[in-house]
Amino acid sequence: MQKSFEAVYENGVLRPLAPLPLANAQRVQVTIADVDSDVAAYFDATEWEASKHDDISLQEVRASLSSIEGSLSDAVIASREERF
């Protein structure tokens, strides 16, 4: 089984942010990736492929950004949370 999950490192221990389907004392292999710097993980393969064909002008980007109230980062985070 391969499973990705988010965890927090506290006091020398990785603490998963959600329950894991593992037996007590089950041995697993852990791979660590910093979620803050892994931009590619925000998009699936279909989204990356579709973005190759985006012909968006700078004016369209500016118009879209100007309609966002508050913090752009808060808007992006909220949009991503809606997907999961």
Q: What is the pLDDT of residue 35?
A: 67
| Contact present, 6 and 16 (Cβ < 8 Å) | yes
Query: Diameter of the chain by CA atoms?
Result: 56
Q: 33-82, pLDDT tens digit by residue?
A: 776 666 677 788 888 888 888 788 889 988 888 887 788 788 788 888 87
Q: 18-32, pLDDT tens digit by residue?
A: 999 899 999 998 888
CA distances from 42 to 28, 36, 83 (A): 25, 10, 10
pTM over 0.85: no
